[in-house]
């Protein structure tokens, strides 16, 4: 059986089936004001007990001082303290006569569903965070806590999905692996497993339910394989693989503090893409030296109105402080297309990906934009924040966006509020016109970051979500490569920094080619950093340039891919 390998490594162990308590709506209706009063108080107490439970857990000495896990729990406290959740639940109790339990289930389910509908893998995975917070409140309302009783050290936890609060009941030292029915690359199971270095496979589908308690199971967190009841020969061969993995991993771990410099002395910036402050721990754990893309959308999701300047400021400040001296590129709001906010309705469009989205919305609705810009500028004094505008297709948009930054600065100055006057401004190059006119755009900004995810889809006219035509969607198409080449060349001609923050940055086959083009920065999911660094430090820039010269003469992606595979062998 195959799922998505999200935390590499091989585990051979016995299945532990982790089942959550079923949660269902009672349908009971409150009768009078006294009931409403009682249910409202019960809800408030459950919320404060949930927060107290998390705080107590954090203080517990046996708690492994793992930064990510603490940050996950702190984010939960923030969500639990969200006045919007409280007012929505109280509204259901007082105006719809629902019990506290039913009101919580409904409010949380609506918020989670809204996130699931978003076709952005990271953001839709955050639905389980919201659901988890709901479960936490319900557990306190119902006085119901399930604990995991594990024996031995080789338990492979088989579950539908695993949430941060589930991990509170885990003795992590007894877990050898995770396999879940649901989940994607950025689900919590993935984040937690990676943080703990425990192999995990998610999104295995319903077939996983065939596993019985104590069955022998092998999981390969690199390939996504799950083998149920393996024979002796299979076990032997996986023990062998386990040894090799341990050796390679030990080697990659030693790279954490090594600078990504080629053998002939070229320093490359290896940064990470994040969507929340929680992700930061992983960045530095994996030897990342900054954030090349902070997708700010998550801050705007899972709520019923735009976050105000202060809320945004607190978020960016937290990221800036936690990043210390390392740079963080904050991308301004990139909604529209497939990312929608329930409180900001965009009328249906024939081609939403070519429609009213990202910078187009921000330049049209300046108040939303300037509020975000002011929050980032203010937070800039606590770290090294840069601002990046998405979906730029012409120079006028850049000029207008810069005008908005100017306006934001003037408003802050008038109000006597401190901010970083030297914040660098950059743009994403993810529309072919921008890539072709990189020479013109380079004069306007401090840096470029190439968004190959969208650049591929717009250059090749291939929807990045459409599985039927996914074979056409490749960053090794010579047309796409010519655009990246041009952007890099023009950026350098104008002495501007150029990075790449699309998925191509984490593709080991692309590393030498991109190095050879002269890219200054690679930004990717944090877990990919060691493997890419390993390629950078083992090769010279002159070899990379040679690879690039050869590839740029090739006529199709198949030839290019097989040549790059040959080079990497």
* Cβ atoms within 10 Å of 441's Cβ, excluding its own: 25
Report the greatest alpha carbon distance in the chain: 79
Nearer to ligand PEP, 175 or 500 (CB): 500
From its phi and psi, is residue 470 left (phi > 0), alpha (psi between -120 and 50) or beta?
A: alpha
**Does 340 qualify as catalytic in the annotation?**
no
Task: Write down the catalytic residue from 140, 188, 475, 497.
Answer: 188
Interacting positions 449-508 with Mg ion (CB under 5 A): 451, 454
Q: What is the contact mask toward Mg ion in residues 422 to 451, using x (rule: CB under 5 A)? A: --------x--------------------x
64, burial (CB in 10 Å: exposed 0-12, middle 13-18, buried 19+): exposed
514 binds ligand PEP (CB under 6 A): no
82, burial (CB in 10 Å: exposed 0-12, middle 13-18, buried 19+): middle
Least distance between ligand PEP and beta carbon 39 (Å): 41
124 binds ligand PEP (CB under 6 A): no
69 binds ligand PEP (CB under 6 A): no
Q: Using CA atoms, how far apart are residues 174 and 154, in angstroms rounded to an integer?
A: 6
Q: How many residues comprise the chain?
A: 569
501 binds ligand PEP (CB under 6 A): yes
Point out which span in 187-195, 447-455, 488-496, 514-522 binds ligand PEP (CB under 6 A): 447-455
Tokens read off for 440: 């013109």
- The DSSP code sequence of 73-129 is HHHHHHHHT-HHHHHHHHHHHHHH-B-HHHHHHHHHHHHHHHHHTS--HHHHHTHHH
Nearer to ligand PEP, 13 or 426 (CB): 426
Are the C-beta atoms of residues 331 and 454 closer than 8 Å to each other? Answer: no
499 binds ligand PEP (CB under 6 A): no
Q: DSSP letter at 410?
A: H
Nearer to Mg ion, 358 or 412 (CB): 358
Nearer to ligand PEP, 108 or 294 (CB): 294
454 binds ligand PEP (CB under 6 A): yes
* Residue in 168, 298, 156 with CA at minimum distance from that of residue 229: 156
Tokens read off for 266: 């070229």
297 binds Mg ion (CB under 5 A): no
Exactly one of 13, 183, 288, 451 binds ligand PEP (CB under 6 A); that residue is: 451
Q: Using CA atoms, how far apart are residues 384 and 440, in angstroms rounded to an integer?
A: 27
Q: What is the contact mask toward ligand PEP in residues 271 to 300, using x (rule: CB under 6 A)? A: ----------------------x-x-----
Q: Which residue is nearest to ligand PEP (CB)?
A: 451
Least distance between ligand PEP and beta carbon 521 (Å): 13
Least distance between ligand PEP and beta carbon 330 (Å): 13
Tokens read off for 132: 């988890």
**295 interacts with, out of ligand PEP, Mg ion, none, CB within 5 to 8 A per kind:** ligand PEP
Q: Using CA atoms, how far apart are residues 357 and 360, in angstroms rounded to an integer?
A: 5
76 binds ligand PEP (CB under 6 A): no
Return all residues near 48 (Cβ < 8 A) that are at least 6 apart: none
Q: Using CA atoms, how far apart are residues 21 and 182, in angstroms rounded to an integer?
A: 17
Least distance between ligand PEP and beta carbon 395 (Å): 20
Torsion angle defined by CA atoms of residues 476, 481, 484 and 490, in that order, rounded to the nearest 10 degrees: 160
Count of residues that interact with Mg ion, criterion CB under 5 A: 3
Alpha helices in 380-493 (DSSP H): 395-414, 432-436, 438-442, 452-460, 478-493
* Cβ atoms within 10 Å of 303's Cβ, excluding its own: 18
User: Tokens 């990919």, residue?
Assistant: 528
Point out which span in 202-210, 249-257, 376-384, 446-454 binds ligand PEP (CB under 6 A): 446-454
Least distance between ligand PEP and beta carbon 276 (Å): 14
**161 interacts with, out of ligand PEP, Mg ion, none, CB within 5 to 8 A per kind:** none
Q: Using CA atoms, how far apart are residues 391 and 414, in angstroms rounded to an integer?
A: 31
* Residue in 332, 422, 405 with CA at minimum distance from that of residue 370: 405
521 binds ligand PEP (CB under 6 A): no
* Residue in 356, 365, 304 with CA at minimum distance from that of residue 335: 356
Q: What is the contact mask toward ligand PEP in residues 373 to 412, using x (rule: CB under 6 A)? A: ----------------------------------------
Least distance between ligand PEP and beta carbon 355 (Å): 15
Q: What is the contact mask toward ligand PEP in residues 7 to 36, using x (rule: CB under 6 A)? A: ------------------------------
Task: Write down the catalytic residue from 204, 362, 501, 548.
Answer: 501
**Does 188 qualify as catalytic in the annotation?**
yes
Exactly one of 452, 506, 511, 534 binds ligand PEP (CB under 6 A); that residue is: 452
Q: Using CA atoms, how far apart are residues 144 and 140, in angstroms rounded to an integer?
A: 7
Q: DSSP letter at 218?
A: E
Write out the residues near Mg ion by the rule CB under 5 A. Answer: 430, 451, 454
Catalytic annotation, residues: 188, 501
Write out the residues near ligand PEP by the rule CB under 6 A. Answer: 293, 295, 334, 430, 451-454, 501-502
């Amino acid at each position: 059986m195959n799922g998505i390998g999200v935390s590499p490594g091989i585990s051979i162990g016995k299945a532990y089936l982790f089942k959550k308590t079923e949660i269902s709506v009672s349908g009971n209706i409150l009768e009078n004001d006294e009931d409403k009063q009682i249910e409202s108080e019960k809800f408030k107490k459950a919320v404060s007990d949930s927060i107290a439970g998390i705080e107590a857990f954090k203080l517990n000495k046996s708690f492994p001082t793992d930064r990510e896990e603490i940050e996950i729990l702190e984010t939960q406290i923030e969500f639990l303290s969200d006045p919007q959740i409280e007012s929505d639940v109280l509204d259901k109790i007082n105006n719809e006569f629902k019990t506290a339990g039913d009101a919580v289930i409904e409010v949380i389910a609506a918020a989670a569903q809204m996130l699931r509908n978003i076709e952005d893998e990271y953001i839709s995975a955050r639905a389980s965070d919201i659901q988890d917070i709901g479960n936490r409140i319900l557990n306190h309302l119902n006085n119901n806590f399930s604990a995991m009783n594990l024996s031995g050290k080789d338990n492979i936890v088989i579950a539908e999905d695993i949430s941060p609060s589930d991990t509170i009941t885990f003795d992590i030292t007894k877990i050898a692996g995770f396999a879940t029915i649901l989940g994607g690359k950025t689900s919590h199971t993935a984040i937690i497993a990676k943080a703990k270095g425990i192999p995990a496979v998610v999104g295995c589908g319903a077939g996983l339910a065939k596993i019985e308690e104590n069955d022998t199971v092998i999981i390969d967190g690199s390939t996504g394989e799950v083998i149920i009841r393996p024979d002796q020969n299979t076990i032997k061969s996986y023990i062998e693989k386990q040894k090799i993995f341990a050796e390679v991993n030990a080697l990659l771990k030693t790279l954490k503090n090594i600078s990504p410099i080629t053998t002939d002395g070229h320093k490359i910036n290896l940064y990470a893409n994040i969507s929340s402050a929680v992700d930061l721990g992983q960045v530095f754990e994996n030897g990342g030296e900054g954030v090349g893309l902070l997708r700010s959308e998550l801050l705007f999701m899972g709520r019923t109105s735009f976050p105000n300047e202060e809320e945004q400021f607190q978020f960016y400040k937290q990221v800036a402080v936690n990043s210390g001296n390392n740079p963080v590129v904050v991308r301004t709001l990139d909604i529209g297309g497939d990312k929608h906010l329930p409180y900001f309705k965009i009328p249906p469009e024939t081609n939403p990906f070519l429609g009213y989205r990202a910078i187009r919305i921000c330049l049209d609705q300046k108040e939303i934009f300037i509020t975000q810009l002011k929050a980032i500028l203010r937070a800039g004094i606590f770290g090294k924040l840069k601002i990046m505008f998405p979906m730029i297709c012409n120079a006028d948009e850049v000029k207008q966006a810069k005008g908005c930054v100017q306006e934001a600065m003037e408003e802050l100055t008038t109000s006597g509020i401190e901010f970083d006057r030297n914040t660098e401004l950059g743009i994403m190059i993810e529309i072919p016109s921008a890539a072709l006119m990189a020479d013109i755009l380079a004069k306007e900004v401090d840096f470029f970051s190439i968004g190959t995810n969208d650049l591929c889809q717009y250059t090749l006219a291939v929807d990045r979500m459409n599985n039927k035509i996914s074979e056409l969607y490749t960053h090794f198409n010579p047309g796409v490569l010519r655009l990246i080449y041009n952007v890099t060349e023009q950026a350098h001609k104008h002495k501007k920094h150029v990075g790449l923050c699309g998925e191509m940055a984490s593709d080991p086959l692309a590393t030498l080619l991109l190095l050879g083009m002269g890219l200054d920065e690679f930004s990717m999911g944090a877990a990919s950093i060691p493997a890419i660094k390993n390629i950078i430090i083992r090769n010279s820039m002159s070899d990379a340039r040679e690879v690039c010269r050869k590839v740029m003469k090739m006529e199709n992606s198949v030839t290019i891919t097989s040549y790059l595979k040959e080079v990497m062998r």
